[in-house]
């Protein structure tokens, strides 16, 4: 791909930018309860981390990692999600974000923590992107070109020539085309675009999980991201559409009161409570089938805590024990 990327600010992009500005003002006018905002932010970060990993092939579902901090327990898939969650939390806590090579290396180090020895290191070998048939569809720049290209990207990220949402979209695809790491490029690229959105409030306070949209429109994402052309207008259209779609979805959620138990309980325990409410009474075996990736000892502990807090009761004491709403 020829750098830097170029684009056309067409009617569709202008319309999407206008929608984003309207949504941003709408979010700024809402003052939800602190408890509600904390819950929505926690849920959004967890979704973003999970779906970012799933885009790269991670098989876990939301209920497999519904508690924070995530119980890694030797699972590399959970480690991957926990790493992204930690990196997102770091971005969320930074008041002034400076996009430079050390920042990108720190994101990569977080993303591949305990997963790869290449964490935080630029690649020193040739690299290509392959399709499902094993055919190389894109040859990444040579290793000696990576640092100069990243410097150029970082200058773009700190410039004031483009609207922030467009800058976030371009930075993502530009980073992916440089492909500076052996592994983790997609995850770091999405974190980079999130950091840029945050600089001007287009992250909507951390409660808009854009990765959820990308995961549900994954093939389209691959198609627009995979184009080996300098004009990245189609990718910008896709990316802005993703933000608008998820922001509208989050706007509905933030205007609806969060059930008290949802805000108070850890996510998995809240989900357990919802299941028991829906089914009136459930067996432990039924719950284990719904949470296959969770150790039975952990589920037992969750149920004990729900009983202690007065949410549910235990009926019986044998293998046929039932759990019901108190």
Per residue in 192-210, pLDDT (tens digit) is: 999 999 999 999 999 999 9
**Average of pLDDT values for 131-145?**
85
- End-to-end alpha-carbon separation of the chain, Å? 61
| CA dist., res. 209 & res. 246, Å (int) | 7
Kindly state the tokens that stand for 14.
């202008």
pLDDT recorded at residue 101:
97
Domain 260-325 in CATH 1.10.10.10: yes
| CA dist., res. 210 & res. 48, Å (int) | 7
Domain layout of the chain by residue ranges: 11-255, 260-325
DSSP 206: G
Domain 11-255 in CATH 2.102.10.10: no
Kindly state the tokens that stand for 36.
């509600």
Kindly state the tokens that stand for 281.
């009474």
Q: Which pTM was predicted? A: 0.85
**Average of pLDDT values for 88-112?**
94
Q: Given a cut of 70, is residue 18 above it in pLDDT?
A: yes
Q: Given a cut of 80, is residue 133 above it in pLDDT?
A: no
C-beta of residue 324 within 8 angstroms of C-beta of residue 276 = yes
More confident residue, 291 or 71: 291
Assign 137 a pLDDT band (cuts: 50, 70, 90).
confident
DSSP 73: T
Q: Which of 103, 106, 64, 70 is nearest to 85 (CA)?
A: 70
Q: Given a cut of 80, is residue 68 above it in pLDDT?
A: no
């Amino acid at each position: 791909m020829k750098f830097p990327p170029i684009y056309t600010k067409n009617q569709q992009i202008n319309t999407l930018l206008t929608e984003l500005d309207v949504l941003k003002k709408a979010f700024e006018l809402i003052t939800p309860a602190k408890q509600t905002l904390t819950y929505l932010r926690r849920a959004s970060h967890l979704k973003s981390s999970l779906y970012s990993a799933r885009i790269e092939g991670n098989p876990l579902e939301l209920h497999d990692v519904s508690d924070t901090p995530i119980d890694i327990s030797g699972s590399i898939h959970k480690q991957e999600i926990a790493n992204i969650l930690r990196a997102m939390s770091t971005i969320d806590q930074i008041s002034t974000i400076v996009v430079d090579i050390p920042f990108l290396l720190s994101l990569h180090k977080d993303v591949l923590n305990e997963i790869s020895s290449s964490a935080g290191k630029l690649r020193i070998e040739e690299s290509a992107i392959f399709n499902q048939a094993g055919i190389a569809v894109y040859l990444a720049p040579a290793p000696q070109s990576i640092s100069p290209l990243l410097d150029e990207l970082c200058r773009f990220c700190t410039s004031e020539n483009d609207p922030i949402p467009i800058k976030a979209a371009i930075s993502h695809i530009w980073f992916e085309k440089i492909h500076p790491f052996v592994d983790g490029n997609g995850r770091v690229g999405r974190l980079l675009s999130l950091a840029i959105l945050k600089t001007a409030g287009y992250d909507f306070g951390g409660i808009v999980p854009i990765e959820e949209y990308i995961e549900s429109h994954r093939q389209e994402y691959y198609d627009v991201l995979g184009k080996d052309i300098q004009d990245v207008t189609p990718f910008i259209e896709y990316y802005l559409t993703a933000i608008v779609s998820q922001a509208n979805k989050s706007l509905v959620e933030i205007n609806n009161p969060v059930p008290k138990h949802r805000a108070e309980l850890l996510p998995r325990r809240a989900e357990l409570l919802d299941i028991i409410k829906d089914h009136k009474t459930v067996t432990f075996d039924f719950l284990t089938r719904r949470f296959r990736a969770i150790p039975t000892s952990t589920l037992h502990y969750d149920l004990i805590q729900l009983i202690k807090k007065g949410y549910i009761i235990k009926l019986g004491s044998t293998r046929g024990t039932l759990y019901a709403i108190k």
